[in-house]
């Protein structure tokens, strides 16, 4: 999303166009970013196909639709829930480590011009939040990246201390929430009043912009809540990269991460699918990040053993190289298909057909962004948003 994730570090423009010719490390990084982008869409698509958008999605979270599609919906939502958000966060930390290493090689101070990068990412996030998606993650990543950039300028011991403190704060917050839920008095569940007016189904593009601005504080709560977790995952990603998780000598690290993921994955799926309800909060922010580490290790190991890409790998690489553009585009395309300012399909689909409808919309959006990334990279080195971001950064810093 910043250059750290969109371009795999400062030297990305020198990468060959043929992905199969690049080192396994770079191939794995691109593929992981592509997986993270499509995986976050796997969560967000249920928001976009809900007739009441994020408001309706949150109200129904953990309570899947009754009927023949109930278990399909539960499984699909849980498979995506939190894992790829965690993976995306880890990849940002890896990107920061790559940028720091590049700055050191060039004899430049760190964090140097990174605050400008963070500022531009924050601006991207504001525009994405206001105009496209109220569940934007870019603003939160910009603030987290700015903090972590300065932490990475300290020694190893200080970085480890920051990681432990951030992870402990996040764990304490989850524990307090669990205790509050356990001891809170039981309340009768009353039927929720539908949105009236409903800007997602009936409003114009401008109506949705106004709705997001009016409810900005409520929509930004998650970014505040996950700040400590994000700091921990950024730092963990940076440490793993420096420890050689993508290198042949990092085999033991990858094995440990795969073991952690293998333990966390069944716990996460069983709890989310068969228990559901408020437990989704703890799988999304508790077990899911551990599954994300396992995914990272599996992909890194795979491409060390088999560095050449097939058709699917090349498409994932292209999406990974245009990650920021694809992240924004996928939400914009899905919004145009589902919301009232576009085709308004979400409000026209019956509740019984919402699951197959959501699967179909997901596949259509994936095809569109994959084709778009492929076509664009045949002509240009960077995605369109990456190009605008890089141009603005160079203008602000006068860096060549």
Asked whether the whole model's pTM tops 0.85, one would answer: yes
Query: What distances in angstroms separate CA 316 from CA 79, 301, 369, 383, one per listed residue?
Result: 19, 17, 10, 14
Specify the pLDDT at position 62. Answer: 57
* DSSP calls for 268-306: HHHIIIII-TTHHHHIIIIIHHHHHHHHHHHHHHHHHH-
Q: Calculate mean pLDDT across residues 181-188.
A: 70
Specify the pLDDT at position 133. Answer: 94
| Residues above pLDDT 90, as percent of the chain | 74
Answer whether residue 9 shows pLDDT above 80: no
Q: Calculate mean pLDDT across residues 158-162.
A: 96
Specify the pLDDT at position 309. Answer: 83
Chain segment 327-364, per-residue pLDDT in tens: 999 999 999 999 999 999 999 999 889 999 999 999 99
Question: In terms of Cα–Cα distance, which of 93, 120, 97 is closest to 110?
Answer: 97
Specify the pLDDT at position 150. Answer: 97
* 8 Å CB contact between 27 and 318: no
Specify the pLDDT at position 6. Answer: 39
**Which position has the token pair 């590049």?**
102
Which has the minimum average pLDDT: 202-211, 276-285, 327-336, 385-394?
A: 276-285
Check residues 393 and 144 and name the one with the higher pLDDT.
144
* 8 Å CB contact between 80 and 39: yes
Chain segment 58-98, per-residue pLDDT in tens: 888 755 555 678 889 999 999 999 999 999 999 999 999 99
Answer whether residue 43 shows pLDDT above 70: yes
Answer whether residue 196 shows pLDDT above 90: no
Chain segment 11-39, per-residue pLDDT in tens: 333 333 334 445 555 789 999 999 999 99
Answer whether residue 240 shows pLDDT above 60: yes
Q: Calculate mean pLDDT across residues 99-127.
A: 93
Answer whether residue 308 shows pLDDT above 70: yes
* 8 Å CB contact between 123 and 385: no
Answer whether residue 5 shows pLDDT above 50: no
**Which position has the token pair 């492929």?**
374
Answer whether residue 56 shows pLDDT above 50: yes
Specify the pLDDT at position 365. Answer: 98
Chain segment 269-297, per-residue pLDDT in tens: 999 888 877 788 899 999 999 999 999 99
Question: In terms of Cα–Cα distance, which of 220, 246, 238 is closest to 98?
Answer: 238
Phi, psi of 73 (to 5 degrees): -65, -45
Specify the pLDDT at position 190. Answer: 57
Q: Calculate mean pLDDT across residues 258-279.
A: 91
Specify the pLDDT at position 66. Answer: 58
Specify the pLDDT at position 12. Answer: 37
Structure tokens at 256: 């440990």
Domain range annotation of the chain: 3-181+192-397
* 8 Å CB contact between 149 and 141: no
């Amino acid at each position: 999303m910043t250059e750290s994730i969109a371009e795999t570090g400062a030297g990305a423009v020198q990468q060959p166009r043929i992905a199969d010719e690049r080192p396994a490390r770079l191939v794995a990084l691109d593929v992981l970013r592509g997986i993270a982008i499509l995986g976050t869409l796997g969560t967000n698509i249920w928001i976009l196909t809900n007739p009441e958008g994020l408001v309706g999605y949150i109200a129904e979270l953990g309570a899947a639709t009754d009927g023949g599609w109930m278990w399909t919906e539960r499984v699909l939502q849980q498979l995506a829930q939190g894992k790829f958000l965690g993976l995306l966060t880890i990849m940002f930390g890896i990107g920061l480590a790559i940028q720091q290493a590049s700055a050191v090689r060039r004899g430049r101070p760190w964090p140097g011009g990174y605050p400008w990068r963070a500022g531009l990412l924050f601006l991207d996030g504001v525009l994405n939040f206001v105009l496209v998606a109220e569940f934007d993650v870019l603003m939160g990543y910009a603030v987290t990246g700015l903090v972590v950039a300065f932490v990475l300028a300290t020694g190893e011991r200080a970085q480890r201390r920051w990681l432990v403190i951030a992870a402990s704060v996040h764990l304490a917050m989850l524990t307090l929430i669990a205790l509050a839920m356990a001891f809170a008095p039981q309340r009768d569940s009353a039927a929720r009043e539908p949105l009236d007016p409903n800007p997602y189904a009936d409003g114009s593009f401008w109506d949705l912009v106004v709705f997001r601005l009016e409810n900005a504080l409520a929509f930004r709560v998650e970014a505040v809540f996950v700040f400590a977790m994000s700091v921990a995952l950024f730092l963990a990603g940076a440490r793993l990269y420096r420890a050689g998780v993508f290198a042949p000598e990092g085999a033991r690290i990858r094995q440990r991460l795969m073991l952690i993921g293998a333990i966390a994955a069944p716990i996460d799926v069983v709890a989310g699918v068969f228990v559901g309800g408020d437990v989704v909060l703890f799988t999304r922010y508790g077990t899911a990040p551990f599954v994300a580490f396992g995914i990272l290790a599996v992909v890194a190991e795979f491409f060390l053993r088999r560095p050449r890409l097939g058709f699917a790998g090349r498409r994932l690489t292209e999406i990974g190289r245009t990650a920021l553009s694809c992240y924004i585009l996928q939400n914009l395309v899905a919004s145009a298909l589902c919301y009232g300012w576009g085709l308004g399909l979400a409000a026209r689909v019956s509740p019984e057909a919402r699951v197959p409808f959501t699967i179909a919309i997901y596949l259509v959006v994936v095809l569109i962004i994959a084709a778009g990334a492929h076509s664009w990279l045949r002509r240009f080195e960077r995605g369109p948003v990456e190009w605008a971001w890089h141009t603005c950064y160079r203008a602000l810093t006068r860096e060549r």
